[in-house]
Amino acid sequence: MKLKHRLLSIILCICLWLVPSAKAFAIQGDGNIDGGGGHVNQGVAGYEWPTGYEGIRITIVDAGTGQQVMSPIDFTNSNVAAVSSDIFNFGKVSKLQYRNGAALNIQTQYEYFHPDTPIPKIITTNSGKADMNAIKTYFCSEGAASMVASYTGIELNDLISGKYKVILEPVIYLWYNHLFFAMTVTEAGLYNRTTNGDLGSHFPTVVMKNFALSMFLERDDLGFKAYTGPKGSARTTNEMILILGIGIVSYAAQPEEDPPVTEMEYDQEYRVDTDVITAVSLYSDREINNRSKATVTFRIKGRRCQMTDIVMPEGGSQLVWVKWHTPSTPQDIKITISSNKGTLSTTQMTVRVVDLNENPPPDPQANDRNDSYRLPNVPNKRDVTELTWGEWDCWWQEHWVYHDGSEDESGYYCDHGWYEFDWIPYFASISASMSIKPDERNPTAEGCVMKSGYGINVKATARVSSDASSAAITGAQNVVTYFPEFAYQTYWRLLERMAGGYASSFELQKNPYSTYQRRSHFSPVWFPDGPYEVYGEVLDAWTPAGMLKIHLTDDLTVRGNLFFDWHIRPAN
């Protein structure tokens, strides 16, 4: 839904990247771009760039913690599927994830979307120059914000509130070694390293200069450094991996002349009585090795929790976290974080603990009516079914060197070794199911067909799989169900957890309005014939990389109402 015009006047969009000037991209006759035919390398078969085949990868991160909150999404104006049935790519992985140690994983399944409004040219060519102002205007516009909100499932007002930041990464589509690839600047750098520079040798201008310099930060943000180097020559592989190919957009509401009273902004929201994981990123421009490891301390409600034995190479980073249990009552909690080494993405967080069990539906009555009711659309929110993160490990690489002795002393061997670092990746994934059926006390239900006014039962199961330790993950702990008679809002039911752990199960709580204390939800007697679809959200499967969540639906058929089962006869 588009914002009203009045709201546009109070949106501030901060674009934290630079697109170099046209002069910086002037083609200098090296022949890598064909200004007429639209290909590069002057007819070198299998190594070509269809000019203008570009896109953008969008990732949403929490502005407070710097954590990624969803899988990236790719947009492009081009019909890339028409070029090749197989589009080789490295999955939907962000520069943030690569910085945290994600590895290239080549695959051929590739999903992309066409933007509502075409994206301005991002990579300068002989046939057209990238316009920094046009790019900034586009991604800071109402239309772009609405598009991002609709594809990510984040409410537009929430997106532009300042709670989130949007990471932009240019994507290029090209033929390399007779295979059609989609890759970001970071992935191009990593793949160039994997191919020992062969990718860059075939595309010294298109990839190593024009694409590499198509977007970069003008000031530090989210732990990424601003780029201040040359803007008219090919860049290095390391620069592509660490610095280039990123833009960051922040939306923040400006105060009105008479600012209204607003609620406090929170860095995270948790549920009561729940195991959660709170994480931030630790960066270091110096090596942290086994001789002097880092320790990060979290202070929560008077408790002091530490993550110890942290190591990382120079310029490295990783998530650091604490697993804790939320209170049994709603409240705001201030968390402070400190480290004896490196730099934290944030040193203070304010989290909100809420109780989802405070808004169940009212008792339906036999004489309730809703003559204007129209069947609502079921919410379509994006699942987070898998997350990855990792930790650095450190070990000593021996290197013995013989030193000659003097006339009076013998020679000797000395270890001139160094510390090597290995990235240990972890993952966690979730699968879940939900089923609804007529309550057993329903006397006339047949299979999945029932009359309105009777109760239904809801059951859900969830399984979390991971190769990480129990200190880094939780099982799914909450399931919330929403119902069509309330347009999947207004009221909801929190299911009761019947079995915990990594294979958890849930059922409706006992209904206080049920004569037999059944675990049921009563459908309204006025509900029209047709599908009765329940929507559920499986929540609170936590990892250091964020919360796994999955959205489920199931339905049955309403045919008639409970009054059809009443028989009126004269009294004896």
Residue 372 and residue 350 share a domain: no
* Whole-number CA gyration radius for the chain: 28
Distance CA 414, CA 40 (A): 53
Residues 127 and 82 in one domain: yes
- The identity of residue 273, as a single letter, is D
Res 139 pLDDT > 80: yes
- Which own/partner contact pairs does 202-205 have at CB distance under 8 Å and 24+ positions apart? 202/41, 202/44, 202/47, 202/176, 203/32, 203/40, 203/41, 203/47, 203/49, 203/174, 203/176, 204/30, 204/32, 204/234, 205/27, 205/30, 205/32, 205/33, 205/40, 205/234
User: Cα(349)–Cα(366) distance, rounded to whole angstroms?
Assistant: 48
Is the pLDDT assigned to residue 28 strictly greater than 60?
A: no
For residue 130, tell me if it sits in a domain: yes
Query: What does the alpha-carbon distance between residue 138 and residue 119 come to, in Å, rounded to a whole number?
Result: 7
pTM strictly above 0.75: no
300 shares its domain with 191: no
Residues 41 and 113 in one domain: yes
**Residue that finishes a domain, picked among 354, 383, 401:** 354
Domain check: are 310 and 371 in the same one?
Answer: no
| Model confidence pLDDT, tens digit, residues 304-331 | 999 999 999 988 889 999 999 999 999 9
In terms of Cα–Cα distance, which of 171, 174, 176 is closest to 195? 176
Distance CA 121, CA 427 (A): 36
Q: What is residue 572's predicted lDDT score, i.e. its pLDDT?
A: 63
**422 and 451 together in one domain:** yes
Q: How confident is the model at residue 570 (pLDDT cuts 50, 70, 90)?
A: low
User: Does residue 571 share a domain with residue 462?
Assistant: yes
183 and 205 both lie in a single domain:
yes
Residue 333 lies in a domain: yes
pLDDT per residue as tens digits for the range 76-107: 999 999 999 999 999 999 999 998 888 899 99
Is 531 a member of any domain?
yes
Residue that is last in its domain, among 297, 324, 354: 354
User: Does residue 392 sit in the same domain as residue 298?
Assistant: no
Give residue 241's pLDDT.
Answer: 92
Say if 23 falls within a structural domain.
yes
| 233 and 343 co-located in one domain | no
Q: Per residue in 165-202, pLDDT tens?
A: 999 999 999 999 999 999 999 999 999 999 999 999 99
Choose one of 354, 387, 415: the last residue of a domain: 354
- What does the pLDDT look like over 275-307, one tens digit per residue? 999 999 898 888 999 999 999 999 999 999 999
Number of domains in the chain: 3
Question: What is the extent of the structural domain holding 390?
Answer: 360-572
* Co-location of 457 and 437 in the same domain: yes
In this structure, is residue 259 part of a structural domain? no
